[in-house]
Structure 1
């Protein structure tokens, strides 16, 4: 009887996720932006802390955009010790665009700020000199497609958007990435369905911090980046602040603009998840317990009931597992993985559940939000 009830709850959960969660699982790139190319002034702000591995690719990809308007990069070197700034300058010189790169050393981190947002704030202060029509906030490990800036600008103008962002294609070079990274995108869109984020009538807001084009007026309206200075999940916090102020936002997946950050081991992916998972739960132990129980019923029960269940419970497990695979398959396909990976989501979800618990443990130990040697979520 208990197994049957669990199976029914799992089937119900997947019917809701398939039909009632904004069809988040239909991961498709945005349609081609309407309208002609626009000579908008764009300033790119890149916070960079020890980003030697990817900064040259990022700078080159931005300085060789087909965007017809002026484009300037403000790179804020956040106390790097690996030559990040010099590599960025060399990359700009290599494409004869050294005059369009400004490198700023970040001042010491003030109390109450996360390191990334303080570096962004330093860069935004400098954008007053360039008076841009749009500001592109991007990470130091993003390789932008040649038409990325022009497409984002055209989309923002066509749809009257204050913030438009891309969930860039994440690296799947290593086996741990191929196994675990597509699920990260799946879970992100499940938490933040893009259709709901774009709907002005919905309170839900979302953005992906690797690539966000924002209007300066929208930033000013919320009181600048200082309005979210302590936010660990800074991208979604920025989107929420802009949407609350009446701004229009949009989030889309991208396969052509990519992250060059490689996670060489499952442990590195674990750390990436654990950095913000407990923050997402508002550091609440009851929410953590409820989430882990919910993950168990939704993801782990279907295969267990399929293998060990009897009669009706087994059939409910089979139906739930098939629905789960159908829901995950579009993301698997987006990342060019075999359809068989769609049936591996229960095992992948177990890994994410353990990392979420690990995130709570880090927080309880005073080591939450670890990034580049900084603990940013302190009890």
Structure 2
């Protein structure tokens, strides 16, 4: 019965979850025409101890071939490694580097920095390009973002930056990170007028008027998963669009399994609203959906074994488009149960860190809500 239930769940996921696994929503498809007028844009980049990557990330923003008015505002969030000085050393006329004010109570560090950048941008820009200090963009990225936003009168256009996938830990775990994200927030559903809101924080083009109407950055001041929270907020102001891209890519390295675990655990328990009951339900659900199929396929017999094999095959097949997007071996699909077990462990780690008062740890700063 348990194996049959797991199979039924996978049938629903594959055939009735808005094709989340097909990876169809890409910035290269259904390209809109360029607008007759290019509106003003200001990029806002919060940065904390990003000396290793900041020059490449900011350099990619400076190099944008955008025809309209465009400026870059970097907010140095109390860095101790010279991040701000490195950025200033680029000597770009369109770049301004701000030193963040001391962190205000009730805010996460990132959103406090973003708020200051948004305030500095003022009322001139039609759009705010919220991006991270570890993301590098192709020169035409902003043009494509604005063209899509203008053509669809969108409140938000967000691209899921392509993450590094070179080390063993990255090859094993990173494609699944995006796969699981799409399972939670099916891009096709997010992009519908009546669907849920969602976004990917590495690249978000926000219509300034929509953000102001929604209450500004202050409306999400304490959100640890700030991108999806902002996506949901802006969805109330108008349609949004979320897709995959090769244009924007993460340049942060995850050399070890431990570094990937730290990235996952930083916000996993926040996704569960810090609820022990949701944690228990999630872990049981992961075991049912990902672990029961291979266990039944290997150790059961008869119909239970067939159900386990079928469910295991379905999950491996569903993983293939994302593996192809990241140019990884199709054989990783068979290993999805092991990968899911790693993510379950990271979720437990996230809850443990929160209980110790170290939830949402980022660059030496704990940011999660109190337990």
Name the TM-score class by shorter chain.
Answer: over 0.9
- Residue by residue over 1:220-267, the C-alpha shift from the partner in whole angstroms, topping out at 9 and shown as x without a partner, is 1011100000000000111111112x3211110112310001111101
- 1:192 aligns with 185
Q: Which of 98, 104, 108 is the aligned partner of 2:98?
A: 104
Aligned equivalents of 1:36 and 1:197: distance in 2? 24
- 1:159 aligns with 152
User: Does the residue aligned with 2:166 lie in a helix, a strand or coil?
Assistant: coil
- 1:62 aligns with 61
Q: Per-residue deviation at 1:174?
A: 1.2
Q: Which of 342, 351, 356 is the aligned partner of 2:347?
A: 356
User: Does the residue aligned with 2:71 lie in a helix, a strand or coil?
Assistant: strand
Q: Which of 259, 262, 267 is the aligned partner of 1:276?
A: 267
User: Does the residue aligned with 2:158 lie in a helix, a strand or coil?
Assistant: strand
- 2:18 aligns with 22
- 1:339 aligns with 330
Q: Is the 8 A contact 1:275 1:370 kept in 2?
A: yes
User: Does the residue aligned with 1:201 lie in a helix, a strand or coil?
Assistant: coil
Q: Per-residue deviation at 1:197?
A: 1.0
- 2:290 aligns with 299
Q: Per-residue deviation at 1:20?
A: 1.2
Q: Per-residue deviation at 1:173?
A: 2.2
- 2:214 aligns with 222
Aligned pairs (5 A) from 1:26-175: 26-28=22-24, 29-30=26-27, 31-36=29-34, 38-91=37-90, 93=91, 98-128=92-122, 131-175=124-168
TM-score, with normalisation over the residues of structure 2? 0.97
How many residue pairs end up in the alignment? Answer: 367
Question: Do structure 1's residue 205 and structure 2's residue 201 form an aligned pair?
Answer: no
Q: Is the 8 A contact 1:65 1:148 kept in 2?
A: yes
- 1:234 aligns with 226
RMSD: 1.1
Aligned equivalents of 1:89 and 1:39: distance in 2? 27
User: Does the residue aligned with 1:25 lie in a helix, a strand or coil?
Assistant: helix
Question: Do structure 1's residue 258 and structure 2's residue 249 form an aligned pair?
Answer: yes
Runs of 4+ that moved beyond 2 A:
36-39
Aligned equivalents of 1:290 and 1:178: distance in 2? 28
Q: Is the 8 A contact 1:33 1:158 kept in 2?
A: no
Q: Per-residue deviation at 1:365?
A: 1.4
Bigger shift: residues 19-28 or 340-349 = 19-28
TM-score, with normalisation over the residues of structure 1? 0.95
Aligned equivalents of 1:218 and 1:334: distance in 2? 32
Q: Per-residue deviation at 1:160?
A: 1.2
